[in-house]
Amino acid sequence: MDALITGLYGIPILGLVFQFLGYVLDLLPILAQTSIVVAVPIALAALCGVLGERSGVVNIGIEGIMLVGAFVGWIIAAAAATILGRGTPLLPIFGITWPLLIGLVAALLAGMLLALLHAWLAISVRVDQIISGVILNILALGVTGYLNTLIAAQSPLEAGKFTALNLPHAITDLPLVGWILHAVLDQGPIAIGTIIIVIVLQILLFRSRWGLRTRAVGEHPKAAETVGIDVIRLRYRNVVASGALAALGGAYLSMEQTNSFQAGMTNGRGFIGLAAMIVGRWTPIGAFGAAILFAVGTALGQAISVGPPNGQLGDLLAKLPAQFFDALPYVVTIIILAGVVGRSIPPAADGKPYEREATT
């Protein structure tokens, strides 16, 4: 077997491909867990886009909502810890404390409030939805950056963070499925909750009355109105709810993946989430799968930077600048979008303001 592998690795050019595949297989358990960690905020951003665009409202401001959710969740949790003390965890798992819960609720409310502003501009005022989203991004970046410099950077306290489940070794060491369970379940509450949200939203969107109405409003709002669906009200509710999903993705960055906030820490994840939504064809499961795909690029870049492969492949990768691996997820996004975006068809009324016909 070793002789066969050595022979495959020695084939000119094609051997590099076999070396890369062998390297990926060796690191598969680590790559799988890292990919889930990286994919969670992207997936939540994509779900925000799915819920909004299935209702006919484009939201380019996902990045800004995530940034506000990250800042508000972290700073409110730190303030609550200052007043209440960090306290002991409420449960034996996940490290959930009252300050963290308060901060998480505040993050969701902040995201919903910002989404409400976007809904008002896009649905009631009927401004260009792209411009409305850009305004949210600029506003969020400026305000959170300023407040972080003014308040958060001078605060010595922090509320801690949500912790991973930490499965017992008896489960993670199971043959074949142990590494999968470790990657999926050995996560914090927001990450595990994201997987549950994906499944529930997929079922609701395609197997419930609300989902049927949402898809009808996104495809043909006038026809939906004629059968008694309140298009304006449904769009408002869905856009506001989508803001909570984006804010949850931001809170994940500052309250579960880390326990701090840095200006601009979303780092384009909201836009990658929109790309995942398109690649996933505006479905929750498809968007989550695309988020995983994009996250693999980041996980591979991190793995190669820390422990590059041996042999000719390692020598080749060592000559690449570190910036190449930082750009890898964005390159993967562009390549995939170039092959998919022309074939993906958005909801027919996506981005089109709706105005009720005047009654006589």
Across 236-242, average pLDDT: 97
Separation CA 316–CA 17 (nearest Å): 12
Is 19 among the domain residues?
Answer: no
Across 37-57, average pLDDT: 96
In angstroms, the first-to-last Cα distance of the chain is 82
Separation CA 311–CA 9 (nearest Å): 9
Is 23 among the domain residues?
Answer: no
In this model, does residue 320 exceed pLDDT 70?
Answer: yes
Other Cβ atoms closer than 10 A to 102: 19
Is 224 among the domain residues?
Answer: yes
Percentage, residues of the chain above pLDDT 70 = 91
Q: Supply the CATH number for residue 241's domain.
A: 1.10.3470
For residue range 8-26, what is the model confidence (pLDDT) as tens digits? 556 656 666 767 777 788 8
In this model, does residue 217 exceed pLDDT 90?
Answer: yes
Is 329 among the domain residues?
Answer: yes
Place of tokens 């909570």: 244
Number of compact structural domains in the chain: 1
Among residues 45, 38, 102, 98, which one has the least CA distance to residue 247?
45
Other Cβ atoms closer than 10 A to 206: 13
The mean pLDDT value of the chain amounts to 88
Is 4 among the domain residues?
Answer: no
Quick one: which H or E segment has residue 11? none
Length of the chain: 360
**Residue 244 pLDDT level (bands cut at 50, 70, 90):** very high
For residue range 145-188, what is the model confidence (pLDDT) as tens digits? 999 888 866 666 678 899 998 888 888 888 878 888 888 889 99
The secondary structure of residue 72, as a DSSP letter, is H
Residue 137: per-residue pLDDT: 96
| CB neighbour class for 360 (10 Å; exposed up to 12, middle 13-18, buried from 19) | exposed
User: How distant is the alpha carbon of residue 123 from its chain centre?
Assistant: 25
In this model, does residue 199 exceed pLDDT 80?
Answer: yes
Residue 179: per-residue pLDDT: 84
Place of tokens 């495959």: 8
Give the residue numbers spanning the domain of 101. Answer: 33-340
Q: In the structure encoding, which two tokens stand for residue 315, read together?
A: 């020598």
Is 288 among the domain residues?
Answer: yes
Residue 9: per-residue pLDDT: 57
Q: In the structure encoding, which two tokens stand for residue 108, read together?
A: 């969701």
Residue 360: per-residue pLDDT: 47
Separation CA 7–CA 47 (nearest Å): 46
In this model, does residue 83 exceed pLDDT 50?
Answer: yes
Is 15 among the domain residues?
Answer: no
Return the axis-axis angle of helices 62-84 and 28-53, rounded to nearest 10°: 110
Q: In the structure encoding, which two tokens stand for residue 269, read together?
A: 């994840």
Is 5 among the domain residues?
Answer: no
Among residues 343, 252, 274, which one has the least CA distance to residue 60?
274
Separation CA 234–CA 237 (nearest Å): 5
In this model, does residue 336 exceed pLDDT 80?
Answer: no
Among residues 257, 245, 157, which one has the least CA distance to residue 193?
245
* 3-state secondary structure string across 258-326: CCCCCCCCCCCHHHHHHHHHHHCCCCHHHHHHHHHHHHHHHHHHHHHHHCCCCHHHHHHHHCCCHHHHH
**What is the model's pTM?**
0.92
Rounded to 5 degrees, φ, ψ at 111 are: -65, -40
Residue 237: per-residue pLDDT: 97
Whether the CB-CB separation of 336 and 291 falls below 8 Å is answered with no
Amino acid residing at 131: I
Quick one: which H or E segment has residue 8? helix 2-9
Residue 315: per-residue pLDDT: 74
Judged by average pLDDT, the poorest of 163-167, 271-275, 303-307 is: 303-307
Residue 359: per-residue pLDDT: 52
